[in-house]
Amino acid sequence: MTLLEIADLRVAFPGPTGPVNAVNGVSLEVEAGRTLAILGESGSGKSVTAQAVMGILDAPPARIDGAVRLRGRELLTLPRKQRDRISGEEIAMVFQDAMAALNPVYTVGHQIMEVLRVRRGMSKADARRRAVELVDRVRIPAAKDRIRDYPHQFSGGMRQRIMIALAISLEPDLLIADEPTTALDVTVQAQVMELLAEIQRDSGMGLMLITHDLGVVAEVADDVAVMYAGRIVERGTVGQIFDGPAHPYTEGLLASMPRVDRRDDVLYAIPGAPPNPAQLPTGCPFHLRCPRATDECRVTLPPLAALPAGRESACHHYEEVLGARR
């Protein structure tokens, strides 16, 4: 079942030399019980997309167009109050930087209990019991005692878990995780990703996982949307994307990644750098870096087109790309 549907989402910010087009027509779906990874490098518009879904972008100054539907219900036009209720109870979010998301002057127990009391009307004792359960759920040892500690008394990995505990406290249908493990060490990243995947499986919620790490995508995603310059350039299941990408950008990313489990002699390097969203090139936004670019690519923007087997690619020459791997 489609839980979240984003249709032609556009977000622009006013900039010194005209609008900064951070998101340029993103369409995607998150299915209940599945994990959609949004893969893209820094500045590609991943976080702005998430913030638009969560309703935490200030507009104005941001200009937001398009549609964001949760179980068919349009969110962008909802009155503030209803919107705030949904983003909290039905959609929750975890961020890269837990320190910024947690309040430093309250104990973590207080913060979780407060949410439960205000949103669920729980008694203090019930809220405390539930807070301990939640902190225990994210595998923090001695949860009963630790809920009396302040955020700075936890390590980075533990704070990330506390934020996950807070996010799942109201049993949301959709969890958005924006680079939840990027700031963590690899051994701690593995613990936190494992926990997120397990909670997703047990609760059946939909997970929208934002990351720039191809390895993380390969390990946890069901579906993948690849973003470049504010657009989705390719969509498919994780198997489809990794076995045979249908877009030159994805193809280049896969070829440029060294692996820990074997040694590759040569790495492909995508030339150039990602474009500035205040000055996007004409035609295909990837054409200046694309080895397959033709004249058509320099003038005509390729739409995200449906391919066989339910996948999509925004490339004039996707057939060539698909053929290359065969």
Partner 1 sequence: MPGDDVVLRVENLVKHFPLKGRIPFTSGGVVKAVDGVSFDLRRGETLGVVGESGCGKSTLARMLVGLEQPTSGAVRFGTSIVHQARGRDLRALRRRIQIVLQDPYTSLNPRRTIREILLQPFEIHPEVLDRGRRLDRVRELLELVGLDPHLHLDRYPHQFSGGQRQRIGIARALALQPDVIVCDEPVSALDVSVQAQVVNLLERLQDELGVAYVFIAHDLSVVRHISDRVAVMYLGKLVETGPEASLYDTPRHPYTRALLSAVPVPEPAVRGERQRILLPGDPPSPVDPPSGCRFRTRCWQATETCATTEPPLAAGAHPVACHYPLAA
Residue 219 interacting with partner 1 (CB under 8 A)? yes
Q: In terms of CB distance, is 112 or 217 closer to ligand ADP?
A: 217
* CA separation for the pair 130, 275 (Å, rounded): 47
Q: In terms of CB distance, is 34 or 317 closer to ligand SF4?
A: 317
CB of 248 to ligand SF4, least distance (A): 4
Q: In terms of CB distance, is 134 or 290 closer to ligand SF4?
A: 290
Q: In terms of CB distance, is 12 or 193 closer to ligand ADP?
A: 12
Total number of residues that touch Mg ion (CB under 5 A): 1
Instruction: Pick the closest to residue 99 from 146, 138, 141, 156 (CA basis).
Output: 156
- Of 42-50, 85-93, 162-170, 191-199, the segment contacting Mg ion by CB under 5 A is 42-50
Q: In terms of CB distance, is 230 or 244 closer to ligand ADP?
A: 230
Residue 49 interacting with Mg ion (CB under 5 A)? no
Q: In terms of CB distance, is 49 or 240 closer to Mg ion?
A: 49
Site string for ligand ADP, 267-296 (x = CB under 6 A): ----------x-------------------
Token representation of residue 308: 């066989």
Looking at residue 282, its amino acid is T
Residue 12 interacting with ligand ADP (CB under 6 A)? no
Q: Which position among 263, 295, 308, 309 is part of the footprint of partner 1 (CB under 8 A)? A: 263
Three-state SS string across the chain, please?
Answer: CEEEEEEEEEEEEEECCEEEEEEEEEEEEEECCCEEEEECCCCCCHHHHHHHHHCCCCCCCCEEEEEEEECCEECCCCCHHHHHHHHHHCEEEECCCHHHHCCCCCCHHHHHHHHHHHHHCCCHHHHHHHHHHHHHHCCCCCHHHHCCCCHHHCCHHHHHHHHHHHHCCCCCCEEEEECCCCCCCHHHHHHHHHHHHHHHHHHCCEEEEEECCHHHHHHHCCEEEEEECCEEEEEEEHHHHHHCCCCHHHHHHHHHCCCCCCCCCCCCCCCCCCCCCCCCCCCCCCHHHCCCCCHHHHHCCCCCEECHHHCEECCCCHHHHHHHHC
Q: Which position among 56, 118, 142, 273 is part of the footprint of partner 1 (CB under 8 A)? A: 273
Q: Which position among 98, 102, 315, 322 is part of the footprint of ligand SF4 (CB under 6 A)? A: 315
Site string for Mg ion, 73-112 (x = CB under 5 A): ----------------------------------------
Q: Which position among 269, 295, 308, 326 is part of the footprint of partner 1 (CB under 8 A)? A: 269
- Torsion, Cα of 259, 237, 301, 214 (10° steps): -20
Q: In terms of CB distance, is 183 or 255 closer to Mg ion?
A: 183
Residue 51 interacting with Mg ion (CB under 5 A)? no
Q: Which position among 24, 36, 37, 43 is part of the footprint of ligand ADP (CB under 6 A)? A: 43
CB 163 within 8 A of CB 102: yes
Residue 48 interacting with ligand ADP (CB under 6 A)? yes
Residues that bind partner 1 (CB under 8 A): 41-42, 155-158, 185-191, 193-194, 212-219, 221, 238-239, 242-243, 249, 252-254, 256-261, 263-264, 266-271, 273-274, 289
Residues that bind ligand SF4 (CB under 6 A): 247-248, 284, 286-287, 290, 292-293, 297, 302, 315-317
